[in-house]
Structure formats: structure tokens, C-alpha cells
């Protein structure tokens, strides 16, 4: 998750259950960060936009080739 802020990476990990036992709802993540679920949704959307950017596509493509 290079290129993301620590907060963005943590939000994505929690939302999608990466390196965790389970995924979390927007509400649960919001409570963890003491922000609204809408703010978490915005952070998640921005992080996903960053990961989809063409400049990062090569890094992500390496996962698909394995």
C-alpha cells in the first residue's frame, strides 16, 4: 500500500479485512478514528482512487502475475 498515508492504509485494511480476522463497517472504522462513517467513506474512496491511478498500475500488476 505504498503511496498511501498511514491513515488511508489503515482504513483500507480495516474495511477489507486485510491482515485481520474480519472486515469492519464504516461505522466501526469511524469509531476507531473518532470520525463519522461518511468521512471514512471519503478516505476509502480517495485511497482507492490513488491505487487505481495509472502510475501505480505496474506495482499492482505484479500481484496479478503471481
pLDDT tens readout for residues 8-57: 999 999 999 999 999 999 999 999 999 999 999 999 999 999 988 877 66
51-65 residues labelled b (16+ CB within 10 A) or e (exposed):
beeeeeeeeeeeeee
Domain extent, residue 60, equals 6-65
Give pLDDT, residue 3: 83
Tell me if 1 is assigned to some domain. Answer: no
CATH number of residue 20's parent domain: 1.10.10.10
Count: domains in the chain: 1
Tell me if 33 is assigned to some domain. Answer: yes
CA angle, 55 then 14 then 66, to 5°: 50
Amino acid at each position: 500500500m505504498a503511496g498511501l498515508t498511514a491513515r488511508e492504509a489503515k482504513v483500507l485494511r480495516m474495511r477489507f479485512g486485510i491482515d485481520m480476522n474480519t472486515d469492519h463497517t464504516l461505522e466501526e472504522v469511524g469509531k476507531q478514528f473518532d470520525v463519522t462513517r461518511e468521512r471514512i467513506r471519503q478516505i476509502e474512496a480517495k485511497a482507492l482512487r490513488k491505487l487505481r491511478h495509472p502510475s501505480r498500475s505496474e506495482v499492482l500488476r505484479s500481484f496479478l502475475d503471481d
